[in-house]
Structure 1
Amino acid sequence: MPGPVLHSTASATCPHGGALNIVAASPRVMVSGLPVAVVTDQGIVAGCAFTLPSGTPQPCVTTRWLVGSTRVLAGGQPVLINPCVALCMSAPQIPGGPPIIAGSQVRVVAT
């Protein structure tokens, strides 16, 4: 499915409202003057307040990108597109749900 290519400063959150920051490891390919995000890039979540029904805090801390573009690569890795296929993960690697991409560039589209 085609979608806009995500970049390192795309506006994103975890499903519980924590801010998601995409750390582009290879800033050689750019869109709108910003490094593109690829499936091997780290997604760091800050400020997630999710708590289990038992009262145990289980905040999202990272993001695991599952699928990227099937046809467009940057540095040999698939670029991330919106809508993205990913999961926000807690410290013990328990999935918390998919990230929410609220804003990104719209000029470059990949499949």
Structure 2
Amino acid sequence: MAGFLLHTDATVRCAHTGAAQPTASSARVKIGNQAVVTQPTTYTVSPDCKAPRPTAGNGPCVTASWTSAATRVKVDGRPVLLDSGAATCVPTGTGLTVIATQERVRGV
């Protein structure tokens, strides 16, 4: 699965339009002056997630973990995250969508 590498300034949102940001990144590798993000880094979803609160639903999204990443490109021995990867939000079980990231470096 090929895709563009994710970095700390990539625009990532949950299925309910909540902004998501990585909790960690690589200090050693940067793309366009932004650190790349590796697995198993989790993402924190902002409180603007519009998933229905408990009793009406199971939201809002709080965190997300990437379930797939690059198989051939690694940083510090960890796979880099790709815009084509999959993530699951907790507690809703929905995914994350990469809206924008750099478009110069691809990984597999």
TM-score, normalised to structure 2, is: 0.89
Matched, 1:100 2:101: no
Corresponding residue for residue 67 of structure 2:
66
Tell me the distance in 2 between the aligned counterparts of 1:10 and 1:32: 11
Q: Percent identity?
A: 32
Tell me the distance in 2 between the aligned counterparts of 1:101 and 1:26: 19
My pick for the range that moved more, 54-63 or 76-85, is 54-63
> Any unmatched runs of 5+ in structure 2?
none
> Any unmatched runs of 5+ in structure 1?
none
Residue 26 of structure 1: CA displacement?
A: 2.9
Aligned residue type for 2:43: G
Aligned residue type for 1:82: D
Corresponding residue for residue 36 of structure 2:
36
Number of equivalences: 107
Secondary structure at 1:60's aligned position in 2? coil
TM-score, normalised to structure 1, is: 0.87
Question: After the TM superposition, which parts of structure 1 deviate over 3 Å for at least 4 consecutive aligned residues?
Answer: none
Residue 42 of structure 1: CA displacement?
A: 2.2
Structure in which a larger fraction of residues adopt strand: 1
Residue 24 of structure 1: CA displacement?
A: 2.6
1:83-94 equivalence runs, <5 A: 83-90=84-91, 94=92
Q: For the structure 1 residues 54 and 22, does the alpha-carbon distance in structure 2 shift closer, same or farther, using more than 3 Å as the test?
A: same
Corresponding residue for residue 20 of structure 2:
20
